[in-house]
Amino acid sequence: MAKFKPGDKARITAFKYGVNRHDNGGFNVGDIITITNVHDWPFWPYFYDVAETDDYIFFEDELELVKSDTCKHDCSTCTCHDDTVTISADIPLNDKKEAHRIVHAMVKKAYQDAATAKDKPQNAPWTEYEIEFARDLVSNWAYNVIHNSGDLYWQIQPEDGLEAIVYKSLKAGSCLYGYAAPHHSNEYNVWVGKCVSLAKALGKPIPDFIKNKNMED
């Protein structure tokens, strides 16, 4: 069964079946599109026509549903109605004690963030800890890309958003894209922007300390 139906709003999360829609069509990861028609072909994932173009289609595993009927926010990091959080960490395989320490610290912070989210003042600035954490995540992810024969860079997009472009190899057609728009209620920080855009490009979950920052009740 198809994940989307005509009329649904969907957000672009990746370009897994060619980058012409980005390079020539002007679409970016993070853009919201409207489903108009559903196609079901044998041996292919479901794909969709969209209202914003007659020239391109989008595949099911490149999109996520926008919760427009339940969510007040129109940004890709909104988790207003989620009851769970996702934690992602790079851990050393040769140091079990350090791996447990990293995961324990992230779990502890996730519970602290959830417990204090409603009491947190609006438009709170990014803390030194949060910026350092974002920078460390970016450094670790970038190292892994380069260590595995890839490359990456960032470029400024309209309205001061950041786009991460990742080459998993030097072969043509291997680009991954991730876009980070300035958050609707946060002071923009370049390391947070790099973290969000690179996470999207690599298919990693957005860290909860970013998703839950300055969210309204």
**36: DSSP letter:** E
Counting beta carbons within 10 angstroms of the beta carbon of residue 138, is it exposed (0 to 12), middle (13 to 18) or buried (19 or more)? buried
In a domain, 188, yes or no: yes
Residue 100 lies in a domain: no
And the tokens for 13?
Answer: 């999360």
Better pLDDT: 124 or 196: 196
Q: What is the pLDDT of residues 127-154, one digit of tens each?
A: 888 999 999 999 999 999 888 888 888 8
Q: Where are the beta strands (DSSP E) in the chain?
A: 9-12, 32-39, 47-50, 53-59, 63-65, 151-156, 162-167, 175-180
- The reply to whether 124 and 206 lie within a common domain is yes
Is the domain of 125 the same as that of 58? no
- Closest alpha carbon to 71 in 45, 32, 38, 102: 32
The residue with tokens 């969210």 is 215
52 domain-assigned: yes
pLDDT in tens, 76-92: 444 444 556 667 778 88
What is the DSSP track for 39-70?
E--TTS--EEEETTEEEEEEEGGGEEE--TTT
Q: Confirm whether 94 is domain-assigned.
A: no
Q: Is the pLDDT of residue 211 over 90?
A: no
Domain assignment present for 105? no
Instruction: Say if residue 126 is in the same domain as residue 61.
Output: no
**What whole-number distance in Å separates Cα of residue 125 and Cα of residue 69?**
29
Question: Last residue of some domain: 65, 85, 107?
Answer: 65
| Averaged pLDDT, 173-177 | 77
Per-residue pLDDT tens digits for 96-127: 888 888 888 888 887 777 766 555 555 678 88
- Quote the pLDDT of residue 121: 52
Domain end residue (candidates: 28, 47, 65): 65
The per-residue pLDDT for 217 is 40
% of the chain surpassing 70 pLDDT: 78
142-151 LR contacts (CB < 8 Å, sep 24+) = 142/198, 144/90, 145/202
Q: Place 187 in a pLDDT band, splitting at 50, 70 and 90.
A: low
What does the pLDDT read at residue 73?
43
The pTM of this model reads: 0.45
**pLDDT confidence of 182, banded at 50, 70, 90?**
low
As a whole number of angstroms, the distance between CA 158 and CA 196 comes to: 16
Is the domain of 52 the same as that of 135? no
Is 72 among the domain residues? no
* Average pLDDT, integer, range 186-194: 78
Q: Does residue 185 have a pLDDT over 50?
A: no
Does any domain span residue 85?
A: no
Range of the domain at 47: 9-65
32 belongs to a structural domain: yes
Domain count for the chain, please give it: 2
